[in-house]
Structure 1
Amino acid sequence: MRKFGIAILGFLLIVSVSKAQRSMDKIAGVVGSGIILQSDIEMQYAQYLAQGGAPNPAIKCQVMQNLLTQKILAQQAVIDSVTVKEDEVDSEIDRKMRSMLQRAGGQDRLEQFLGRSVIQYKDEIRNEIRESMVADRMRGKITEKISVTPQEIETYYKKIPKDSLPSYNKEVEVGEIAFNPVLSKEEKELYRQKAQELHDRVKKGEDFGTLARLYSQDPGSAPDGGDLGFADRSTFVKEFSATAFRLKAGEISPVFETDFGFHFLQVIERRGEQVHVRHILIMPQITQASLDRAKLKADSVYTLLTKNKQVDFSSAASYYSDDKETKYNGGMMLNADNVQTRTTFIPTDKLDPQIALVVDTMKVGEVSKPVLYTGQDTKKSYRLLMLRSVTDAHKANMAQDLPKLKDAAYSDKLNRTVSAWFEKKRKQTFIRVDAEYQSCPQLKSWAGAPAVASAKP
């Protein structure tokens, strides 16, 4: 079964929970003036399953804890005048609805699943979305002034037992300059003509969906006759979006080019700021001649860096590299597991094997000769690699690992601050947890709070 089919099954599971709410609801928890319904928990558990999670009733305990904390945060937000603007709520609801529309396969199917109009459903979830956003903003206010001083980092480090210090694998800093093969106008023309021939066949009356299934090279939509479902402008690359939203329902576009290749599309339906289209894509194939041209360019830049030394690696990356993720970062690769901190230190076991094989033979400061590289999308390019630094595997220490220890000390302080805040609020707030959830390990402190002990059903 295709992923689309799995997504629909998951979506139906969520909707079945929504339709069953009236018959299964009970009050699962009370927090101050707010209540948590059993259906709220079941809905979030269904979403967890729909996203691929393994069946696990213990997840409901985590859901319950999250809802309890959300209620406390939202109620404190009212006291502290922490709010969200209505247009922010609108944007979040729209984001959620876009996802649901794509998973359902269009507005008609979504409304059929929901048993109500999209407009009605958006009204129903508005308060829930607003409360979640307010709670997130309140949590941010609690932690906004948290920072760690060098002294606090050192204190945190010294409190870690020596035999419990984290171990770090060997890490490297690697820079790259990418040279992607570019087809000439003449080389592209063959593929543009193929797309044009298919376009002409559709215009003469052949079935669009059949031709898409047979010839389109978009693996995501070709099995569905090129159908992309409903989407808004932000879903597509700009050339595709401009074309799709310029046409009326039923119209077929001329052949046009994007970074993916040559397309033509047909608008099936327009609904406000969403459009339902199908398309056929012909993807140009890289030629040996284009690869040879990329190699020649890479050789020239290698000479500039290593022999003539007319330019440094960082400047060369920003000027010559075709990799949009690294060219404005001095060519330096980022650790994919720590993108938020934008660290350039990458454990060698996390490096792409093709890169690791070359880097393992290099000295610090050295630039490699052009390397033929094959991406996950099977596209080939040439890369120049530069090894900026190597850090051997070691136990954590202040000299080598200050940034990592700073992050760890900050996280520790943040968690302690939030935990202390919640501990105080739990003692001041009327809380009742249904007996079904009082055995949850993470809810022991909630169910055992003084306010709960005196609360009556």
Structure 2
Amino acid sequence: MKNFLSVIFLVLTSFSSVLAQKTTINKIVAIVGDNVILQSDIERDYANYILQGNAENQEIKCYLVQQMLTQKLLSQQAVIDSVTVTDDEVTNEADRRMRALIQRAGGQERLEQFLNRSVIQYKDQIRPDIREQLVARKMEGKITENVSVTPLEVKRFFESIPKDSLQYYNAEVEVGEIVMYPELTKKEKESFRDRAEALRLRIKGGEDFATLARLYSEDPGSAIEGGSLGFFDRQVMVKEFTAMAFKLKPGELSPVFETEHGFHILQVTERRGEQVSARHILIKTSPTPESLNRTKTSIDTLYQSVLNKRIPFSTAASLYSDNNETKYNGGMMLNAENVQVRTTYIPTDKLEPAVFLTIDTMKVGQFSKPELFTARDGKQGYRFLYLKSKTEPHRASLELDFPKLKEMAYEEKVGRTVSEWFEKRRSTTYIKIDPEYQSCSNMKLWVSK
């Protein structure tokens, strides 16, 4: 951890030096039409590249120059085509990036120390660059918005792939689930609320908040830090937590309140504009035997209705499942390894072990019996599974893999469309690149016009 923070310190210190001493290093790296790319722009993005956990590699600067050339061409066309982004879009993206930086640096105070400026000052500084990046992204979307592929184009794309280069796919399945978590009655929740209230009274009586958080809080991420959550804005926490945090004055202790995670005691330690620094103690609720029995009865009844075809599985999932990640997809699990394409086809080696063991002996179209399980976040509940389809290991084929091949054909066509657009723009735009970067292998197309 110490070495990692040292790297961050060196990177951000050098970045701050770049920003503070532009006059000493700011030569013009490239000219694109009416816009210039400065050496300090490259150093800034390279510092961010290192900060994201990448190893030092000076060759990356060649690709950063190429990215900026591309961005400038797109943003210039965006002005012509009246493509814009709103201030809110820029603010949201700036906030997202700052949350990531704060997390990697180990807190807002530490990041501000490294940057030698406040987070607010830094966000203001990067807003113009973020705006240009978002505009360029939107412009690229406009270039490709009418791209589509027909079944014939997918077939031609597939036939263009050499047979010995066809991708090999492991066995894949489509698996649905219906999940039910126990709901505690008000009386069943009392013992958990009482535990939180007892800790609140001890704090009001003079005991140290941080010590009690370390001893009793059931939030493992903050308990070790004395309950400290650092600075956060209104977008980070669940709504009940956010409402309480932004209502309290610094130093004020909240009453016990409930969120989906359990019962909390909250204290705001500092407020800066639209951010607060707070600490909390969490007492999680857990199912009682009675609540588990009620849930088992409910899911058994639903299972029989699905099994006897009184209600379609997808309808039952959307109406009754408690897993928000799957219920709005008709209960079907999505391939978490392929976030770019929302596909329900999941390689069997990527399934949760418990899911694989259950569906391994099932036939396509079957449902497993409801069973008690523990979710990734530790919540206990009941679920039953549906094996919708299964394919054996195989080379890519049109019959079995048309959705994947269609996506690949689409991506190839998008790439070709963008490349053709850039080729036309490069040929009609004044572009000059500093000799230091002309030797980069990826600059050939940019310097040969």
TM-score, normalised to structure 1's length? 0.89
Q: Secondary structure at the match of 1:221?
A: helix
Which residue matches 1:172?
173
C-alpha displacement at 1:389, in angstroms? 1.4
Show the counterpart of 1:247: 248
SS at match of 1:412: helix
Q: For residue 305 of structure 1, what is the amino acid of its counterpart?
A: V
Residue in 2 that maps onto 1:454? none
SS in 2 for 1:383: strand
2: distance between equivalents of 1:86 and 1:237? Answer: 24
> Who is 2:304 aligned against?
303
Query: In 2, are the aligned partners of 1:156 and 1:409 still within 8 Å (CA)?
Result: yes
**Distance change >3 Å, CA 137–CA 7, structure 1 → 2:** farther
The question of 1:18 aligning with 2:10 is answered no
Q: Which residue of 1 aligns with 2:274?
A: 273
Q: Are residue 230 (structure 1) and residue 231 (structure 2) matched?
A: yes
Counterpart amino acid of 1:324? N
Q: Deviations over 1:336-395 (max 9, x none)?
A: 233454322222122111111111101111111123323223333222111111222222
TM-superposed deviation, 1:177: 0.9
How far residue 289 of structure 1 moved from its aligned partner, in angstroms, is: 4.7
> What residue number does 1:453 align with?
none
What is the CA-CA distance between 1:7 and the residue it aligns to?
6.4
Would the alpha carbon gap of residues 240 and 79 (structure 1) be closer, same or farther in structure 2, given more than 3 Å must change? same
Question: Would you say the 8 A contact 1:8–1:104 is kept in 2?
Answer: no
Change in CA separation of 1:320 and 1:97 when aligned onto 2, cut-off 3 Å: closer
CA contact (8 A) 1:105 1:230 kept: no
By how many angstroms is 1:101 displaced? Answer: 5.2
Structure 2 residue aligned with 1:431: 431
Secondary structure of 1:314's partner? helix
Question: Which blocks of at least 5 consecutive residues in structure 1 are unaligned?
Answer: 451-457
- Kindly provide the amino acid, as one letter, of the partner of residue 44 in structure 2: M
Structure 2 Cα separation of the partners of residues 392 and 440 of structure 1: 45
TM-score between both structures, scaled by the size of structure 2:
0.90
- CA deviation profile, 1:174-196 (whole Å, cap 9, x unmatched): 11111223444444322221111
- In structure 2, runs of 5+ residues without a counterpart are none
Matched to 1:409, the amino acid is A
Q: Following TM superposition, by how much is the alpha carbon of 1:286 offset from its aligned partner in structure 2, in angstroms?
A: 3.7
381-390 vs 318-327, which moves further: 318-327
Aligned-pair CA distance for 1:199: 0.4
Distance across 2 between alignment mates of 1:26 and 1:257: 56
What SS does the aligned partner of 2:235 have? helix
User: More displaced, 127-136 or 194-203?
Assistant: 127-136
Superposed, 1:34-433 pairs within 5 Å as 34-100=35-101, 110-306=111-307, 308-433=308-433
Q: Aligned letter for 2:49?
A: Y
Q: Which amino acid aligns with 1:173?
A: E
Q: Partners in 1 of 2:315 and 2:412 — Cα distance?
A: 39
Partner-residue secondary structure (3-state), 2:337: helix
Deviation at residue 265 of structure 1 after TM alignment = 0.5
Contact 1:102–1:229 under 8 Å retained in 2? no
Residue 8 to residue 297, structure 1, CA distance change in 2 (3 Å): farther
- The answer (yes or no) to whether the contact 1:11–1:103 under 8 Å persists in 2 is no
Q: CA deviation at 1:238?
A: 1.1
Partners of 2:231 and 2:104 in 1: CA distance: 10
- Look up the SS of the partner of 1:363 in the other structure: coil
Task: After superposition, give the CA deviation of every residue in 1:79-105 in whole Å (9 maximum; x if it has no partner).
Answer: 333233344334433444454456567
Distance in 2 of aligned mates of 1:48 and 1:304: 54
Structure 2 distance, partners of 1:310, 1:83, is 51
Whole-angstrom distance in 1 between the partners of 2:350 and 2:243: 39
Distance 1:348 1:254, change over 3 A: same
Aligned-CA RMSD value:
2.6
Q: Check if 1:440 corresponds to 2:440.
A: yes
How far off is 1:40 after superposition?
1.9
Q: CA deviation at 1:292?
A: 4.1
| Alpha-carbon distance change, 367 to 118 in structure 1, aligned in 2, over 3 angstroms | closer
Q: Return the offset for 1:62.
A: 2.0
